[in-house]
Amino acid sequence: MAQARLAIDGGPRAKTTPNIPMYPGGYEIGEDEKREVCDALDKKYIFRYYMPDGLTSKVAAFERCIADMCGRKYALAVNSCTSALICALEACGIGPGDEVIVPAFTYWSSASAVLSARAVPIIAEVDDSFTIDPADLERKITPRTKAVMPVHMRGSACDMDRIMDIARRHGLKVIEDNAQACGGTYKGRPLGSFGECGCFSFQYYKIITTGEGGMLLTDDERTWIRAQMVHDSAACWRPDRFAPARFPGELFFGYDFRMSETAGAIGLAQFRRLPGLLERMRRNKARICAGLADLPAKGIVPRRQNDPEGDTGICVMFMVPTVELCEKFVRALAAEGVDVMHPYHRDIPDWHVAHHWRQLIEQVTPTPEGYPFRDPARKGAPVSYDNLCPRTADLLGRAVHINVPPQMTEQDCDMIAEAVRKVADAYL
């Protein structure tokens, strides 16, 4: 059969339907969200704390939804996942002189939260699951390491069995960054339920959204109380806010990261949409992947899943044999009409790959001396980000990423598979 002419060479496009933006829950905002927000407004009380008698907090109800989904005892809603990560780190007592191991593929606030807690992020490779490589994590542990932050990147679980085993053996805290995989599981267990703390994002581009928002989950009451201290400088949740500390380390100055009742109201409506969103994204992804099933014979390697069953289905990722080919592949696929991107391209700045985190590599912070990177109290060799994670650069440099919005039709999915096959036939 004659090979189809690629769109990039003047042929017809394989995908002719419009691309749908990747705001899974945000794109579905409707009557339910309006009803919940109006209900909050009608009460004329949209602050989360000090609820007048007879009213109940929507933020508290939203906290219970996420905590119950994950089988966690305690939840704390905040204004972003970055705030949740800062609360988690500070609640776990991580601070000056400590190191926290973070993967090289994550949104950079996983690392910036560590710096905000005045500790130093150490960057570990990802493996072919595009999540933290447990072997490199273990290699990067030093006497200063206090925690690891597994990031369930692009909707899919880290290797939690190995990570929890390493953490146990080395006495590390585990703070899960589950910003991108709300509703995902690992071997049947909800993501966000593994470590000392699990942190979520409800920012607009996430699976479900409150516009801006985040949440911290934990099973440890004292960690939760300390996290509350971080998220609210007035400590206004306390039964008696002027009472002395109930345990050593309870009282200290925090920030103001609270979630408002209007955000909580949207969260409640969005939470009800979560099962349906996941179901549709997983179905769409399965349909696209079924259309690509024979491509490994051509040298296309699908992203390895630590647990395919628990994947949220937000994207399709695969690798091609070389970085050069990947650049051609992505250009050609975009010309075919597919919403496609490079997770990592050395010349295209991106917030999600450590090789582009200039502030980290140059160790720049708000103070001229570069604290906490350059901390006179630091024990051991100065931190260095030279020769950062070459394996991650290679794996992600050969990777192709396609979003899978829940709103896609079967025709959209089939056209995407057809476009990938067309480009693979031409280039591989």
Q: Which stretch binds ligand PLP (CB under 6 A): 10-18, 88-96, 101-109, 281-289?
A: 101-109
Q: Looking at the DSSP assignment, which residues form a beta bridge with residue 77?
A: 215
Is residue 129 at the binding interface for ligand PLP, with CB under 6 A as the rule? no
Of 18-26, 105-113, 190-198, 252-260, the segment contacting ligand PLP by CB under 6 A is 105-113
How far apart are CB 423 and ligand PLP at their closest, in Å? 28
| Shortest spacing between CB 290 and ligand PLP, in angstroms | 28
Looking at 74, 107, 224, 344, which residue binds ligand PLP (CB under 6 A)?
107
177 binds ligand PLP (CB under 6 A): yes
| Region from 34-42, 106-114, 224-232, 274-282 binding ligand PLP, contact rule CB under 6 A | 106-114
Establish how many alpha carbons lie within 13 A of residue 419's alpha carbon, considering only the half-sphere containing its beta carbon: 29
Nearer to ligand PLP among residue 6 and residue 199 (C-beta): 199
Q: Using the rule CB under 6 A, which residue among 131, 180, 185, 218 binds ligand PLP? A: 180
Does an H or E element contain 245, and which?
none
Q: Which is nearer to ligand PLP, 80 or 306 (CB)?
A: 80
Q: How far is the CB of 110 from ligand PLP (least distance, A)?
A: 5
Q: What is the smallest separation between the CB atom of 249 and ligand PLP, expressed in angstroms?
A: 26
- Residue 302: CB atoms within 10 A of its CB come to 16
Q: How many residues bind ligand PLP (CB under 6 A)?
A: 14
Nearer to ligand PLP, 316 or 333 (CB): 316
Q: How far is C-alpha 274 from the geometric centre of its chain's CA atoms?
A: 16
Taking a C-beta distance cutoff of 8 angstroms, is the pair 203, 213 a contact? yes
Which pair of tokens denotes residue 39?
């209900």
Query: Tokens 């829940």 correspond to what residue?
Result: 406
Task: Restricting to residues 52-91, name those near ligand PLP by CB under 6 A.
Answer: 80-82
Q: Which of 153/340 has CB closer to ligand PLP?
A: 153
By beta-carbon proximity to ligand PLP, the closer residue of 291 and 313 is 313
What's the distance, CA 269 to chain centroid? 21
> Which residues within the stretch 307-346 sit at the binding site for ligand PLP (CB under 6 A)?
none
Residue 222 C-beta: closest distance to ligand PLP, Å: 25
Name the nearest CA neighbour of 25 among 172, 162, 173, 207. 207
37 binds ligand PLP (CB under 6 A): no
Cα–Cα distance measured from residue 411 to residue 244, given in angstroms and rounded to the nearest whole number: 63
Residue 252: name the closest of 396, 95, 102, 120 by CA. 95
- H or E stretch covering 78: strand 74-78
Cα 266 to Cα 24, 41, 43: the distances in Å are: 14, 12, 15
Cα dihedral 189/191/197/202 (nearest 10) = -140
Under a CB-based contact definition with an 8 Å cutoff, are residues 40 and 46 in contact? yes
- Whichever of 107 and 344 has its CB closer to ligand PLP, that residue is 107
Vertex 112 angle, CA 91 and 227, to 5°: 15
Helices 81-91, 221-231: inter-axial angle, 10-degree rounding: 120
From the CA atom positions of the chain, what is the Rg in Å?
Answer: 22
Alpha-carbon distance of 314 to 22, in angstroms, equals: 9
Query: Measured from the CB atom, is 7 or 262 closer to ligand PLP?
Result: 262
If the CB atoms of residues 151 and 417 are measured against ligand PLP, the closer one turns out to be 151
Distance between CA atoms of 294 and 300, rounded to whole angstroms?
9
CB of residue 151 vs ligand PLP: minimum separation in angstroms? Answer: 5
Which residues are registered as beta bridge partners of 151?
A: 177
The site map against ligand PLP for 182-221 (x = CB under 6 A) is -------------------x-x----------x-------
- Beta carbon of residue 176, minimum distance to ligand PLP (angstroms, whole number): 10
Closest CB 368 distance from ligand PLP, rounded Å: 27
Residues contributing to the site for ligand PLP (CB under 6 A): 80-82, 106-107, 109-110, 151, 177, 179-180, 201, 203, 214
